[in-house]
Amino acid sequence: MKVLIINGSPKANGNTAFALSQMAEVFSENGVEVETLQVGSQLIRGCIGCGTCYKTGKCVFDDLVNDLAVKFQEADALVVGSPVYYASANGTLISVLDRLFYSTRFDKRMKVGASIAVARRGGCSATFDQLNKYFTISGMPVASSQYWNMVHGAKPGQAAEDAEGLQTMRTLARNMVFLMKSI
C-alpha cells in the first residue's frame, strides 16, 4: 500500500510539515509506503478550463501537476495538508488540486482521502471542508479521526505543542490504514 502526501505549505519544515510527519510515522510503522511532496512554494498556475486534458489525458501546463497525476494514480490514498492564512487553503495548493483532479481521468473511487489544516487559531474548519470536497466529488472515501483534522500553531515549532491536534493526526493515519486494508 502507498500513501501520497501533498504538503501545501510554502514552508518545507513548518507546522504543516510537522503535522504531516506524525501521519507519515504511523503509515511507516504499519508497513505503508509514504511519499511526501512539497508543493506550497512551487510556481503553479491555476486551471484555465481549456479542455486540453480531455483530449490528451494530461494538463496542458506540463509541470509538477502532471508528475503528481502519475503518483496519485499509483497511490492507494491521498493526504492533503495546508496552512490556513485567510480562512482557506494555500492558493498554490488549490491550483494544484484543481488541475490535478480536473485533468486526471483515472478512477479515484476507493482511494482513501484525508485533509488536514494547520492554523494559528481560526479558519481550520473552512479549510478542512474546502479540501475534502475534492475527495467527495471524486467518490473517494474520506477518512476521519477523533476530531476535525486540524493542528494549531502559528510560529515555527508551535504545532509540536498541540498534543490533541497531533494525536488527531496519528488517529487519522491509523484510520486511513484500516480503510486501505479494508478496501
HSE, side-chain direction, 13 A CA sphere, residue 47: 21
pLDDT, mean of residues 100-112: 96
Hey, how many other C-beta atoms are within 10 angstroms of the C-beta on 124?
22
What are the backbone dihedrals phi and psi of residue 179, each rounded to the nearest 5 degrees, phi first? -65, -40
Q: What is the pLDDT of residues 2-16, one digit of tens each?
A: 999 999 999 999 999
At a CB cut-off of 8 Å and minimum separation 6, what does 170 contact? 22, 23, 25, 26
HSE, side-chain direction, 13 A CA sphere, residue 8: 27
What is the arrangement of strands in the sheet containing 112-119, beginning at the earlier edge strand?
33-38, 2-7, 77-83, 112-119, 150-152
Contact 41, 126 (CB under 8 A): no
CA distances from 108 to 67, 78, 132, 156, 174 (A): 17, 10, 14, 35, 21
Res 28: pLDDT: 98
Residue with cell 490533541: 164
Res 110: pLDDT: 95
CA distances from 90 to 78, 124, 138 (A): 17, 12, 21
Query: What one-character DSSP code corresponds to residue 157?
Result: T
Q: What is the pLDDT of residues 146-174, one digit of tens each?
A: 999 999 999 999 999 999 999 999 999 99
Res 44: pLDDT: 96
Residue with cell 507519515: 24
Res 18: pLDDT: 97
At a CB cut-off of 8 Å and minimum separation 6, what does 46 contact? 94, 95, 98, 99
Contact 83, 15 (CB under 8 A): yes
Contact 61, 53 (CB under 8 A): no
